[in-house]
Amino acid sequence: MQANFTEAIRKNVAERGSSAAVTFLSDFDADDGRISLTYAELDRRARSVAAALLKRCAPGDRALLLHPEGLEFATAFLGCLYAGVVAVPSPLPGRYRHHRRRVSVIATDAGVAAVLTESRTLDEVGDWAEAHDRDRDTLLVTDTLDEPPLAAELLPRLDHDSVALLQYTSGSTGDPKGVVLTHGNLLHNARSLCATFGLDDGSRFGSWIPHYHDMGLMGILLPPLYLGSSCVLMSPTAFLKRPHWWLRMIDEFDIAWSAGPNFAYELCSRQITDEQLAGLDLSRWKFANNGSEPVQAATLTAFAKRFAAAGLRTEALNPCYGMAEATVFVSGCGHGEPVVLRVDEQRLASGTLVPVSAADPGRDVVSSGFPHDYDVRIVEPDSRRALPEGAIGEIWLRGPSVGRGYWDNAEATERTFNGTLADADADADADAGSGYLRTGDLGAVLDGELFVTGRLKEMIILRGRNLYPQDIEYEARRHHPELHGMFGAAFTVPVRDDEGREEELLVLVHELRGHHTEDELERLAGSLRRTVFTEFGAHLSGLVLVRRGAVQRTTSGKIQRLRMRELFRAGEVTALVAKLDPRLEHATA
């Protein structure tokens, strides 16, 4: 067994140095649109980065990685691992204030000793660095290094407990937090993912997910380097502009494992034309990972139906569950058709999954497969008591892939990573020597399978009924074509009556496609309120329709509902049309 993750990579360097390790696809038709690095080239360039790093900092120091999409991030990240320097992947600062602030917060929180970038983004990163009181000359530009590669015998000695990286979470509100991941976490999670799906050195990976996101890094780039296989990368922008490129990449590069959030599968189903579909062969795509939580059953059905003509097998659709705090992969099962369970709607609202027949009224929930190498508990979050099978509660996890905690944040680490049960199982916790990771996600376990139903902090409670915001958003889109392909955020806002009694009022902020007259907006608003009442028996006290892009999302595409609630209450949501209960007008700035 390898002592650290770099040993696994260097083993593959020795055994298959001339084989392609990483390929970046920028254009299918251009001569220079496909660029690859072999294992030997990747290793040599990474050892040059390691040598340059160790002249500037010591093992254990942190290095901020600010790279655009491409191959250079892979060499920079591996160079950090080789040097024993803790990698801190981050999106580029960009030109928007909140993006630049996020990078600055990460740099300050991590206490970075070095900033790595490449020549094509040097000006952008340099401007940010100067604003952050960093000397532009101290930046390490990794693609123009003339540093001799660090000799293999000089690589620092690392073990399972050595910190490999800080993976900063996107966060719904507040500042990002850095999850401390060790070499042992990386090794175990890669081994678990590959063993679960039977992946080997002939399994090629590929996706467009950003390299600084946990799925892009630990789910797409690192497992093939661990296995000795290869991966193909594409920019997120290219995918958003040309969704069919993702599927064409899977076909032409014979990719077995690829991943995307729920909205990516919806985008493909909706935008890929019959002409683009013609000639595609997706029959060799073994695992189409959908890592959103929760996964929408209708999305799976639509994608399977749309691409069946291209040879896509329904059993390739693979709902999974994962999170940065657990490295990335927690559960999944890609060896059969997705399990979609129809459950009683009233019992779901009261916190229990009770299956009903397909003909009965109900809602569909999707299994995220079987947890692997984890002790999983479903827990009532306030009392901390373990719940029985089928009951919905907070998902708690314990296992070797769970990170060490949040960097330099003892309070958040204690709150999130050291959950202890209040019942008899607490003794077992003490024997195990560690607490549970409190995921903040809601779900239930049935017959060993994990069903994720939503986020704990985003749960909507109206008059004792539990409603899930993603269900409200989905039904609004399903019934109204004007919302198709757009994003929405449902949440509640507390108000008080004249006697001081508090009540939660339901609000929906949703993006709108196209241009509409005032009369059309009025009719749409009335129809949306009727839809919510018909589907959920809930009164929509606030409806705000906004332009495309107004609903904020994380770097991985998840809707920031809590942030949207903050903006709504602060009066900072610019509306095309707003229909508000008078009590809500007093609850906003």
Mean pLDDT of 16-32: 93
| Percentage of the chain modeled with pLDDT above 70 | 95
Under 8 Å between Cβ of 226 and 8: yes
Non-local CB neighbours of 412 within 8 Å, separated by 6+ positions: 177, 405, 406
Helical ranges in 198-296 per DSSP H = 214, 222-227, 236-241, 243-252, 262-271, 274-277
How far apart, in whole angstroms, are the C-alpha atoms of residue 571 and residue 588? Answer: 6
Cα–Cα nearest to 319, from 425, 212, 193, 451? 451
**Stretch among 91-100, 212-221, 312-321, 541-550 having the lowest mean pLDDT:** 91-100
- Which region holds residue 103: left if phi is over 0, alpha if psi is between -120 and 50, else beta? alpha
Q: Where a domain ends, among 189, 211, 234?
A: 234
How many domains does the chain fold into? 3
pTM of the full predicted structure? 0.88
What is the model's pLDDT at position 173?
Answer: 45
Cα–Cα nearest to 459, from 383, 320, 349? 349
Could you tell me the CATH number of the domain that includes residue 521?
A: 3.30.300.30
| Cα atoms in the 13 Å half-sphere on the side-chain side of 318 | 23
Say if residue 225 is in the same domain as residue 254: no
How far apart, in whole angstroms, are the C-alpha atoms of residue 298 and residue 303? Answer: 9
Q: Where a domain ends, among 234, 268, 284?
A: 234
- The pLDDT confidence band at residue 497, using thresholds 50, 70 and 90, is low
- The overall average pLDDT reported for the chain is 91
Q: Look-up: residue for tokens 């004249």? A: 498
Secondary structure class of 334 (helix, strand, coil) = coil
**Stretch among 62-66, 159-163, 582-586 having the lowest mean pLDDT:** 582-586
Say if residue 396 is in the same domain as residue 536: no
Say if residue 145 is in the same domain as residue 279: no
Q: Tell me the residue range of the domain where 67 lies.
A: 5-234
pLDDT exceeds cutoff 90 at 175: no
Across the strands, what pairs with 393?
443
Say if residue 445 is in the same domain as residue 555: no
First and final C-alpha spacing in the chain: 58
Is the peptide bond prior to 338 cis by the omega test (within 30 degrees of 0)?
A: no
Q: What are phi and psi of 388, to 5 degrees?
A: -75, 170
Amino acid of residue 161: D
What is the model's pLDDT at position 427?
Answer: 45
Non-local CB neighbours of 340 within 8 Å, separated by 6+ positions: 297, 300, 364, 365, 366, 367
What is the model's pLDDT at position 59?
Answer: 97
How far apart, in whole angstroms, are the C-alpha atoms of residue 578 and residue 576? Answer: 7
Q: What are phi and psi of 284, to 5 degrees?
A: -95, 0
How far apart, in whole angstroms, are the C-alpha atoms of residue 110 and residue 87? Answer: 10
Say if residue 151 is in the same domain as residue 270: no
Say if residue 555 is in the same domain as residue 442: no
Q: What are phi and psi of 568, to 5 degrees?
A: -60, -45
425 vs 40, residue with greater confidence: 40
What is the model's pLDDT at position 411?
Answer: 94
Say if residue 221 is in the same domain as residue 251: no
Q: Which of 178-192, 260-274, 567-581 has the highest mean pLDDT?
A: 178-192
How far apart, in whole angstroms, are the C-alpha atoms of residue 490 and residue 188? Answer: 37
What is the model's pLDDT at position 172?
Answer: 45
- The pLDDT confidence band at residue 310, using thresholds 50, 70 and 90, is very high
Non-local CB neighbours of 422 within 8 Å, separated by 6+ positions: 383, 384, 385
Mean pLDDT of 573-584: 92
Could you tell me the CATH number of the domain that includes residue 122?
A: 3.40.50.12780
Say if residue 201 is in the same domain as residue 320: no
Say if residue 113 is in the same domain as residue 50: yes
Q: Residues 133-152: pLDDT tens digits?
A: 777 777 999 999 999 999 98
- The pLDDT confidence band at residue 428, using thresholds 50, 70 and 90, is low
Mean pLDDT of 380-407: 96
Q: Residues 86-123: pLDDT tens digits?
A: 999 999 998 777 778 889 999 999 999 999 999 999 99
How far apart, in whole angstroms, are the C-alpha atoms of residue 390 and residue 450? Answer: 10
Question: Residue 425 has what DSSP assignment?
Answer: T
**Stretch among 41-55, 383-397, 523-537, 575-589 having the lowest mean pLDDT:** 575-589
Non-local CB neighbours of 289 within 8 Å, separated by 6+ positions: 219, 257, 258, 259, 260, 318, 320, 332, 334
What is the model's pLDDT at position 391?
Answer: 96
What is the model's pLDDT at position 587?
Answer: 67
Say if residue 253 is in the same domain as residue 278: yes
Q: Where a domain ends, among 394, 422, 456?
A: 456
Helix axis angle for 469-479 and 518-536, nearest 10°, is 130
Say if residue 216 is in the same domain as residue 262: no
What is the model's pLDDT at position 425?
Answer: 53
- The pLDDT confidence band at residue 463, using thresholds 50, 70 and 90, is confident
How far apart, in whole angstroms, are the C-alpha atoms of residue 78 and residue 142? Answer: 12
**Stretch among 22-26, 103-107, 405-409, 420-424 having the lowest mean pLDDT:** 420-424
Say if residue 211 is in the same domain as residue 351: no
How far apart, in whole angstroms, are the C-alpha atoms of residue 244 and residue 272? Answer: 6
What is the model's pLDDT at position 170?
Answer: 66
Mean pLDDT of 501-520: 91
- With residue 164 as reference, give the H or E element that holds it: strand 163-168
